[in-house]
Amino acid sequence: MLLKDRCALVTGASGGVGFQIAKRMLEEGATVGAHYNANPAQAEHLLSIVSPGRCRAFRAEFSDPRQVTELWGQFAHWAGSIDILVNCAAEATRPGPTEEPTIETWDRIFRVNVTAPFMLSRAAMVEMRKRRSGRIINVSSIGVKFGGGVGTVHYSASKAALEAVTLSLAKEGAPDNILVNAIRAGVVDTSLHRKIGRPDLSDRVKLIPLKRPAQAQEIAEAVLFLASESSSYITGVVLPVSGGE
C-alpha cells in the first residue's frame, strides 16, 4: 500500500492513461478525486472498485478557467487536504496544416494543457506548504523532444510549456518538500489516436527502439513511482517513458 492515507487529485481520469493512474492509486491505498469532462461512465467506474468515500468523480471543462476554480473548491471541500496532484487531462486535435487551426483552437489547447494544470498546482501548493510535503506530477509528451509530428505544433508547444512550468514550480516547492516532476510519455496505445484521426500507428511505432507503443498501465506505474516515497529525493525531473526514444 504505497499511498496509504494519501489524498490525490487526478485530472483526466476518464481517459486511458488517467484512468489507470487513478486506479493504481486507489489500489495502493490512496483516496482519489477523479476529474473528468465528457466521459462520466469511465470516471464513475472508479467508484465501484473501492469502498464508499475513497473516491469521488468531479466534472469540469478545463478550457473554462472558472470551472477549474470550481473543481478545486469542490475537491478541497470533499477531501480536506491534498498530498498528490496529477495533471493528466489534455486536449489534442486532428493533425493538419499549420494554417488550419484557428487562434481560438490554439488558445483552447493552451488553457486545457497549461493554464488548468498551473491553476491547480498553484492551489495545491498552498495546501501542501501547510504540511511541508506534497507531490505534483504533470503528464507531458515525447512530442516536446521532437517538436511533434507534422501538423501538431499547438499540442507539442503546450506540452513544452507544461514542462517549463514543472521545472519552475519544482524550484519554488523544494524548500517545503513539494516535489514537482513530469512524465514525458511516448506513444501510448489508447483511443486518443482514433479520436484525432490516426488509427494506424504502425509507421510511428517503427521509430520506437522497443518497437511497440506503451500501455497506459506502464505510464501509470511511472506516475506511481513519483507519487510514492521511493522518489523522495527527485524533483525538477522530466522522466521519459517512451520505449527508448
Count Cα neighbours of 183 within 13 Å in the Cβ-side half-sphere: 30
Catalytic-role residue among 120, 144, 155, 226: 155
C-alpha cell at 229: 516515497
Is 155 assigned a catalytic role?
yes
How many whole angstroms separate alpha carbon 142 and alpha carbon 147?
9
From the number of C-beta atoms within 10 Å of its C-beta (0-12, 13-18, 19+), residue 230 rates as: exposed
Catalytic sites, residue numbers: 155
